[in-house]
Amino acid sequence: MPVNQPLTGHDRCGDPCTIVIFGASGDLTKRKLLPALYNLKALNLLPAKFSIIGFASTPGDDNWMREKATEDIKQFATRPFDEQVWGDFAQRTYYVPGDFNDIKTFETLKAKIEEAQKAWDVPGNILFYLAIAPSFFAKVVEQLGAVGLTEESEKAWRRVIVEKPFGHDLASARELNAALTKSIDESQIYRIDHYLGKETVQNIMVFRFGNSIFEPTWNRRYIEYVQITVAEQLGVELRGGYYDHSGVMRDMVQNHILSVLSLIAMEPPSSISGDAVRNEKVKVLEAIRPMTPEEVIENTIRGQYGAGTIGGKDVPGYRTEPDVNPQSNTETFVAMKLMVENWRWAEVPFYIRSGKRLAAHTTEVVIGFRRAPLLLFGEEMEKNIPPNRLVMHVQPEEGITLDIHAKRPGPKIQISNVPLNFNYREFGETTAATGYETLLYDCMIGETTLFHRYDSVDASWRIVNPILDVWQALPARAFPNYAAGTWGPAAADQLVARDGHAWHHYPMG
């Protein structure tokens, strides 16, 4: 998109507010949140009246926070550093060191908020961002409530952004939600999924509902299968301690992938904002019937990477990564077949896969259309030409590819597969974004479309939990079962081959 074009679908600034970031000294803050807020400031989407307060256990004061933030933004900014833009931003930045369990620290935070509000004439709106370990979510919200920081009025909203994961399983998700809603209302909770901030993911709704040529064919009559792939070349890096208790099912499938699936499969909403979209997404998840143990064994594949080669370099296996149990049974790869049991999608398989240390870094959605009903050009010719496919490339290159069939020039009829490509770079010079700009902005204006409501979290855990239960009861015997730098275990290919399909890999042209 052009440099001066907003990153969002709105043309007004966010509501005046104070933004409090818990975990201000952490990785997420310096790599994503500060650059995203800086981008919003540069694009004039931050309100004129705002302030930012960091909260963490690291000792420091306001000046320390401003100096650290300046160092971090110079290293991690996704746009050219502008001294004037950043100067105003830094002046409005404050810091409170303390312990989440100490109520006196939250009283200090309340006083610091009041100080910043007075200094910059900011009204009572406050956005709390919990960029902290999930185990602290409930305690922090409880403490905020205890000092009166979660109370709303007609003139002041209070909103809490919660990072993933929301629970470790269905029971813990329900327990966490019950704990949060003791102090705040569901309408105040913004469960963030940074995947929904990506341009191509947002474009799924525009593509489906803004182009009348696709909606008539977006159903079981014309679509034979759907594939969603989220592949990473990286291993667990320095996240071994977290990942070994999570695995790819909890880390990617329960939130990111099921959210993308629901956007692909949902019915047209009555409007494109707020609960209208979220209502339709939940209906999709509720239409995915939880698997029986026998179905889990038949329709899911799990894997764990061993040593291999990526980019010409040898890389270690998962069990030798830092902070990983040498006998770990945690999955780093999953492939599965899901069925959405409603009238639109009955008998259309949704294949999903995700993993680490795979052959490429890519996220894509593939819509496989059915073959033409008559073999007009000969069975052999048509057998060698794949059916029409629509591919939505989410990352690393954002764009859309539509495969069509065309006759090659010459006196004989020879059919070729022709990809029609659209790339977001074609909009012109682009602004590199972190994926958090739209989400932070939407929270500031009260737009909830891209955030998870609890019923969708509950529905996704109901899909995932039976699978995790079977995997726990029947530990994998063959781990590691794929080499780093490959596309996962051979059983993943067999899963889709049983239905006469194959996984698709699309480089952007």
Whether residue 429 is predicted with pLDDT greater than 60 in this model: the reply is no
List, for residues 335-345, the tens digit of each pLDDT value. 999 999 999 99
Determine the Cα–Cα distance for residues 223 and 228; give it in Å rounded to an integer.
14
The arithmetic mean of pLDDT across residues 76-99, rounded, is 93
End-to-end CA distance of the chain: 19
Whether residue 206 is predicted with pLDDT greater than 50 in this model: the reply is yes
Q: Which two three-digit tokens encode residue 258?
A: 């099921």
Task: Give the pLDDT score at 222.
Answer: 96
The half-sphere exposure of 442 on its side-chain side, counting CA atoms within 13 A, is: 26
168, 194, 256, 452: the active-site residue? 256
List, for residues 6-29, the tens digit of each pLDDT value. 444 456 788 999 999 999 999 999
Determine the Cα–Cα distance for residues 303 and 492; give it in Å rounded to an integer.
9
Identify the residue with better confidence: 173 or 165: 173
Tell me the whole-structure pTM to 2 decimals: 0.89
Q: Which two three-digit tokens encode residue 442?
A: 């939407």
Determine the Cα–Cα distance for residues 438 and 427; give it in Å rounded to an integer.
18
Q: Tell me how far CA of residue 334 lies from CA of 12, 69, 244, 376, in angstroms.
A: 42, 38, 15, 39
Identify the residue with better confidence: 143 or 422: 143
List, for residues 177-192, the tens digit of each pLDDT value. 999 999 999 999 999 9
List, for residues 33-53, the tens digit of each pLDDT value. 999 999 999 989 999 999 999
Whether residue 497 is predicted with pLDDT greater than 90 in this model: the reply is yes
Q: For residue 290, give the DSSP letter.
A: P
Identify the residue with better confidence: 443 or 505: 443
Identify the residue with better confidence: 406 or 66: 66
Task: Give the pLDDT score at 4.
Answer: 37
Identify the residue with better confidence: 102 or 424: 102
Whether residue 275 is predicted with pLDDT greater than 80 in this model: the reply is yes
Task: Give the pLDDT score at 274.
Answer: 77
> If pLDDT is split at 50, 70 and 90, which confidence band does 507 have?
low
Q: What are the residues whose beta carbons fall under 8 Å from the beta carbon of 342, sequence distance 6 or more?
A: 283, 284, 287
Q: Which two three-digit tokens encode residue 379?
A: 């069975």
Give the type of residue at 40. L
> If pLDDT is split at 50, 70 and 90, which confidence band does 2 have?
very low
> If pLDDT is split at 50, 70 and 90, which confidence band does 377 have?
low
Q: What are the start-end ranges of the E strands in 414-494?
A: 415-423, 482-483
Task: Give the pLDDT score at 405.
Answer: 80
Whether residue 164 is predicted with pLDDT greater than 90 in this model: the reply is no
256 is catalytic: yes
Task: Give the pLDDT score at 375.
Answer: 65
Measured in residues, the chain has a length of 509
Task: Give the pLDDT score at 509.
Answer: 42
Determine the Cα–Cα distance for residues 462 and 171; give it in Å rounded to an integer.
10
Task: Give the pLDDT score at 7.
Answer: 43
> Buried (b) or exposed (e) across 475-504, using 16+ Cβ within 10 A?
eeeebbbbbbbbbbbeebbebbeeeebebb
Determine the Cα–Cα distance for residues 460 and 259; give it in Å rounded to an integer.
9
